[in-house]
């Protein structure tokens, strides 16, 4: 019995080795094939098919690269092209109701801020215009090049005409950026003049926290600079008229 078991064991080992050797011999003698797997099964795929598929993949990648190069836009194109007017087109949720009155009312308030000393901006010679120069520009912005009257006028023009554009939703991103710079300048002025006024937990006697208002305005303009004016705006109408119809919507 021991001899019989030994014979069966040796026979099994020899059969397994012969099967493996025959598999290796079959795959190595075929120069037009490549082995994918040996154990537990051997799958043979013609190498010509692999080369063909690889070439197709390379062609597909090169075509995608060429399309990407054709569609690539410069920064100047994004600033001056149709994307200048691109905005969120969703009429649902926050874009349908809350952001529209927020944009319009904020723009109207900026118009009021930019019309110091008269109906329009930059009213030279009026006490209000001169007071802005004497109490704000000269003490806190004397580092700016040019005359104080010039910077006071720029401030008025940015807030007056920027407020009009912002309320209408026309050139919203440039308007929001100019108003953001104006409000951050106001934050700098108030912090330089009055400090933090006890922020965050302290209080002042007159409960007038000067820097908080322009800071909130700045955050609003930052939101619209990223978001755009929204669907109910002049920018949205212009973008639909001049943009490519095949371009994907946001």
pLDDT of residue 29: 46
201: DSSP letter: T
pLDDT of residue 89: 65
Tell me the two tokens of residue 72.
């690539």
**Angstrom distance (rounded) from CA 110 to CA 82:** 26
**Angstrom distance (rounded) from CA 57 to CA 54:** 5
pLDDT of residue 61: 47
pLDDT of residue 186: 95
Compute mean pLDDT per 10 residues along the chain, 250 residues long, and list them. Answer: 45 51 46 42 46 47 48 59 69 68 94 86 90 94 94 95 96 95 95 84 76 94 89 87 60
174 phi-psi bin (left φ>0, alpha ψ -120 to 50, beta other): alpha
**Angstrom distance (rounded) from CA 231 to CA 236:** 6
Instruction: Evaluate whether 115 touches 121 at the Cβ level (below 8 Å).
Output: yes
Q: Which pTM was predicted?
A: 0.64
pLDDT of residue 172: 93
pLDDT of residue 76: 54
HSE-CB at 152 with a 13 A cutoff on CA atoms is: 26
Q: What angle do CA 141, 166, 147 make, to 5 degrees?
A: 25
Strands (E), the chain: 33-37, 43-46
pLDDT of residue 179: 97
**Angstrom distance (rounded) from CA 229 to CA 174:** 11
For residue 43, how far is the Cα from the chain centroid?
A: 49
Query: Residues 3-17, buried b or exposed e (16+ Cβ, 10 A)?
Result: eeeeeeeeeeeeeee
Looking at the DSSP assignment, which residues form a beta bridge with residue 43?
37
**Span between the terminal Cα atoms of the chain, in Å:** 81
pLDDT of residue 86: 77
Tell me the two tokens of residue 149.
């009257």
Instruction: Evaluate whether 209 touches 187 at the Cβ level (below 8 Å).
Output: no
């Amino acid at each position: 019995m021991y001899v019989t078991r030994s014979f069966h064991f040796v026979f099994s080992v020899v059969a397994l080795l012969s099967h493996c050797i025959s598999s290796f011999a079959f795959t190595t003698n075929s120069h037009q094939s490549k082995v994918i797997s040996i154990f537990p099964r051997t799958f043979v795929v013609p190498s010509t098919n692999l080369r063909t598929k690889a070439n197709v993949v390379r062609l597909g990648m090169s075509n995608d690269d060429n399309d990407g190069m054709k569609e690539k836009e410069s920064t100047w194109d994004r600033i001056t092209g149709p994307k200048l007017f691109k905005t969120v087109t969703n009429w649902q949720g926050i874009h349908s109701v809350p952001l529209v009155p927020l944009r319009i009312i904020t723009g109207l308030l900026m118009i009021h801020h930019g019309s110091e000393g008269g109906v329009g901006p930059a009213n030279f010679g009026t006490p209000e215009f001169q007071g802005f120069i004497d109490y704000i520009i000269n003490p806190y912005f004397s580092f700016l090049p040019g005359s104080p009257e010039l910077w006071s006028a720029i401030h008025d023009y940015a807030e007056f005409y920027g407020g009009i554009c912002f309320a209408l939703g026309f050139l919203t991103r440039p308007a929001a950026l100019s108003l953001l710079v104006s409000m951050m300048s106001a934050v700098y002025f108030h912090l330089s003049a009055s400090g933090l006024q006890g922020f965050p937990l302290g209080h002042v006697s007159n409960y007038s926290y000067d820097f908080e208002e322009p800071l909130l305005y700045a955050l609003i303009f930052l939101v619209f600079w990223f978001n755009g004016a929204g669907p109910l705006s002049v920018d949205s109408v212009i973008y639909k008229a001049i943009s490519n119809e095949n371009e994907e919507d946001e």
